[in-house]
């Protein structure tokens, strides 16, 4: 799968009308202020509860973890193994992030977005879908934990179809990227089998 070298996709915040840009996460600043900002976002209650409390055993998300996150993002872009994007505001500050987790025809996506920038994530995921289609992916999927209705709503607005629960109790949402579809479509059965990366 191949992405263009320069990615700067303009996005509109549905609520405020402000313009943001979707860029490679390897291109955002890595200074102390930028890392502190990412850490503060990842410690926001909604993001922390859904994504980090379990992984961090209740410890805070630190700026050093943000540094590792950006380093891991850079490694993914360099090796072509995973593709992490950030959504930056007009000052270039990170407001949200989304990623494609593998370099496989059908790949899982993930995302988080600051409560201070509510209204930008759906449009960012739509931008991600366009980039993924152009890069050659044929399908995307996401897995939400039961009860994560805000995340389910993002996926529904972006055209994903809720298909079933994975054995580990996650809810699976799929989007086919194959051309000429008027309606959101789930992935064909032969493409779905064995594609869960977890």
Ligand X SMILES: CC(C)(COP(=O)(O)OP(=O)(O)OC[C@H]1O[C@@H](n2cnc3c(N)ncnc32)[C@H](O)[C@@H]1OP(=O)(O)O)[C@@H](O)C(=O)NCCC(=O)NCCS
Q: How many CA atoms lie within 13 A of 181 on its CB side?
A: 15
Using alpha carbons, select from 181, 193, 133 the residue that is nearest to residue 172.
193
Interaction of residue 141 with ligand X, rule CB under 6 A: no
Q: Which of residues 175-194 bind ligand X (CB under 6 A)?
A: none
Interaction of residue 119 with ligand X, rule CB under 6 A: yes
Please select the residue that binds ligand X; options are 148, 159, 160, 177, rule is CB under 6 A.
148
Shortest Å distance, C-beta 53 to ligand X = 11
Rounded Cα distance, 134 and 65, in Å? 31
**Can you read off the two tokens belonging to residue 37?**
């900002």
Rounded Cα distance, 52 and 58, in Å? 8
Please select the residue that binds ligand X; options are 3, 7, 46, 56, rule is CB under 6 A.
46
Shortest Å distance, C-beta 2 to ligand X = 26
Interface stretch with ligand X, choices 25-33, 44-52, 55-63, 188-196 (CB under 6 A):
44-52
In the bound state with ligand X, the residue whose beta carbon lies nearer, of 29 and 110, is 110
Residue 70: Cβ within 10 Å count: 23
Q: How far is CA 65 from the centre of its chain?
A: 18
Binding mask 71-110 for ligand X (x = CB under 6 A): ---------------------------------------x
Rounded Cα distance, 33 and 84, in Å? 20
Shortest Å distance, C-beta 150 to ligand X = 4
What is the chain's percent helix, strand, coil content, to nearest 5?
35, 25, 40
Contact residues for ligand X, defined by CB under 6 A: 14-15, 46-47, 50-51, 110-113, 118-123, 142, 144, 148, 150-151, 154, 157
């Amino acid at each position: 799968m191949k992405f263009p070298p320069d990615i700067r996709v303009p996005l509109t915040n549905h609520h405020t009308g402000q313009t943001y840009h979707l860029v490679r996460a390897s291109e955002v600043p890595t200074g102390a202020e930028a890392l502190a900002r990412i850490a503060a976002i990842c410690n926001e209650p909604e993001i922390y509860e859904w994504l980090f409390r379990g992984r961090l055993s209740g410890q805070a998300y630190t700026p050093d973890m943000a540094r590792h996150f950006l380093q891991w993002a850079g490694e993914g872009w360099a090796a072509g193994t995973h593709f992490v994007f950030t959504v930056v505001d007009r000052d270039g500050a990170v407001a949200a992030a989304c990623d494609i987790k593998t370099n496989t025809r059908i790949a899982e996506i993930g995302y988080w977005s600051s409560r201070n920038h509510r209204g930008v994530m759906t449009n960012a995921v739509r931008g991600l879908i366009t980039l993924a289609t152009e890069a050659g992916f044929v399908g995307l999927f996401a897995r939400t934990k039961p009860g994560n209705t805000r995340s389910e709503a993002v996926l529904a607005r972006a055209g994903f179809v809720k298909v079933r629960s994975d054995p580990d109790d996650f809810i699976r949402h799929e989007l086919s990227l194959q051309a000429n579809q008027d309606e959101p479509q789930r992935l064909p059965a032969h493409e779905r089998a064995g594609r869960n990366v977890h």
